Amino acid sequence: MSSTAPSPSPGAPPPRLQLTGITKRYPAVVANSGVSLTVQPGEIHAVLGENGAGKSTLMKIIYGTTRPDEGTVAFNGQPVQVRNPQEARALGIAMVFQHFSLFDTLSVAENVWLGLDKRLGLAEVTQRITAKAAEYGLDIDPLRPVHTLSVGEMQRVEIIRALLTDPKVLILDEPTSVLTPQAVEKLFVVLRKIASEGCSILYISHKLHEIRALCTACTVLRGGKVTGVCNPSEESNASLSRLMIGAEPPALTHRPVHAGAAVLRVQGLSLPRADQFGVDLLDLQLEVCAGEVVGIAGVSGNGQKELLYALSGEDPRAEPAMVQVAGRRAGRLSPRARRALGLHFVPEERLGRGAVPGMGLAHNLLLTRSDAVGAFGWIGMGALQAQARGIIARFGVKAGGPNAAAQSLSGGNLQKFIVGREIDANPKLLIVSQPTWGVDVGAAQQIRSAILALRDAGCAVLVLSEELEELFDVSDRLYVMAKGHLSPSVDRAEATVERIGEWMSGLWHADVQAHLARSPAQRHALDQETPHAQA
């Protein structure tokens, strides 16, 4: 581990990208302080740091969406001033943002076309998207409107759009946060091929095992400053955690589950898709009891969004008895009526659905909390601000106070606040989608610990996640969703990565029958042969 980048050898080509002394100040924080970064041609270079360490700001400076206060940028050995994304793309710099920049009302092809050379016709761009998607295993229909896509599908659009520019530097901000393990492996094959052809890749991720497997260099940031440069393949998850947050995240503590009465019961839930690109829900059976965490695994776009809408009340078309909350028929109830029964909900889209971007954190509490609204509709701002301050302190949210705009927070810190907001409401039933998407290892462990603590206090928790490691960490029972169907539940002790991976393709019927036909001793021996999710 070194504190500076190595000097180039005589006669070697200049670095593809070199940042020297980059500083960016905001009124409430110094996001980058004297940051230097060197990326060689064909290098896959990780930028590692906890939420709020300054990674995204640094990438925005490279891409031209933010101007530094101090410092210089060199591209292929030549000083450059990247004043906007158009100039960045002209140099050969492409970026896939963590928060997507797509127009909901346009199609996939139209969104991609907007960022490309206008000498290309829409029909030709559509053909290129189809070819690129097939080449890289990023299946997407170029004619679909963006508003019908899941978060995982939106990310595929962003990646394809970047790849179509044939970049010299490709910046990826949390590119695998909503991809399945199989899709991640396919993406890594693509990225290694791109790098072998000379493209440099800047890779931001909180998944340390990915960085160790993929990247050939790593710059570590803490508090806006570079704390070291290393070869991640020579580090362990523990050593990278120490470099990033100064300590290893605490281990999760599990206790034996003593589940109580059913708080959520889904019986025969069948709903036709709400639009032509949706997924039909087909006779779903699901139960979540007090004092347990139930996980739902599955590849994005298999009905998870439709299920969440039906459970939260955003889609009230279900028959009343199909969705029961705390013993009440809730299939036709509004979201507000379901909250009155104790159901609280964390959506996968943080900005826009989980929080209003331009509103302060205190005002964002009003989305799901009504206890600060007094007689005649007067809002008690003092109470709201006190609640917001309490959540910020309890969950370690880095923000400029309770009035800081939601959009001013890093993705991970906003996620901590939204999860904290719902946990602070003392729910009887908490439904969480992608709880640690884009969150650093320390914050992810904090959120998972909070979920387990809520379960231990008697809450029923339903977690939908595309990260199998996360589901194995927090779940007591697991379901798998595929093509609008829901598998039988399986205890975590009997679940394996291989088994859940097969079920993601809908192949659980024969497996369930074969598993039940074995004796208890045979089932135990078989489960011991295949380990649980690896860190």
DSSP string of 55-108, one letter each residue: HHHHHHHHHTSS--SEEEEEETTEEE---SHHHHHHHTEEEE-SS----TTSBH
Percent of the chain with pLDDT over 90: 55
Q: Pick from 101, 164, 177: which is nearest to 131 by CA?
A: 164
DSSP 418-456: HHHHHHTT--SEEEEESTTTT--HHHHHHHHHHHHHHHH
Tokens found for residue 136: 């890289």
CATH number of domain containing 195: 3.40.50.300
Whole-number mean pLDDT of the chain?
A: 87
For residue range 203-249, what is the model confidence (pLDDT) as tens digits?
Answer: 998 888 889 999 999 999 998 999 889 999 999 888 888 888 777 76
**What pLDDT, in 10s, does the model give residues 40-74?**
999 999 999 887 789 989 999 999 999 999 999 99
In a domain, 463, yes or no: yes
* CA Rg value for the chain: 24
Residues 124 and 141 reside in one and the same domain: yes
Give the pLDDT band (50/70/90) at residue 8: low
Look at residue 4 in the predicted model and tell me its pLDDT. 55
Pair of tokens at residue 300 = 């994005």
Task: Specify the pLDDT at position 350.
Answer: 83
Task: Tell whether 8 and 132 lie within a shared domain.
Answer: no
What pLDDT digit, counting tens, does each position of 247-305 carry?
Answer: 776 777 777 778 899 999 999 999 999 888 889 999 999 999 999 999 999 987 899 99
- Same domain, yes or no, for 231 and 366? no
Task: Please indicate, yes or no, whether residues 440 and 532 belong to a single structural domain of this protein.
Answer: yes
Phi, psi of 50 (to 5 degrees): -70, 170
In a shared domain, residues 466 and 328: yes
Question: CB of 374 within 8 A of CB of 359?
Answer: no
Distance between CA atoms of residues 298 and 505, nearest Å: 9
Are both 257 and 336 inside the same structural domain? yes
Per the structure, the count of domains in the chain is: 4
Range of the domain at 278: 252-342+430-444+459-535
Question: Within this chain, do residues 2 and 67 fall inside the same structural domain, yes or no?
Answer: yes
pLDDT at 530: 43
Last residue of a domain, one of 218, 244, 270: 244
Nearest Cα residue to 40 out of 16, 66, 64: 16
| Residue 535: pLDDT over 50 | no
Spatial contact of 344 and 432, defined as CB atoms under 8 Å apart: no
Same domain, 278 and 399: no
pLDDT digits (tens, 9 = 90+) for 400-424: 899 999 998 877 789 899 999 999 9
Q: Are residues 79 and 176 in the same domain?
A: yes
At residue 482, does pLDDT exceed 70?
yes
Give how far Cα 358 sits from Cα of 98, 100, 132, 385, Å.
18, 17, 36, 16
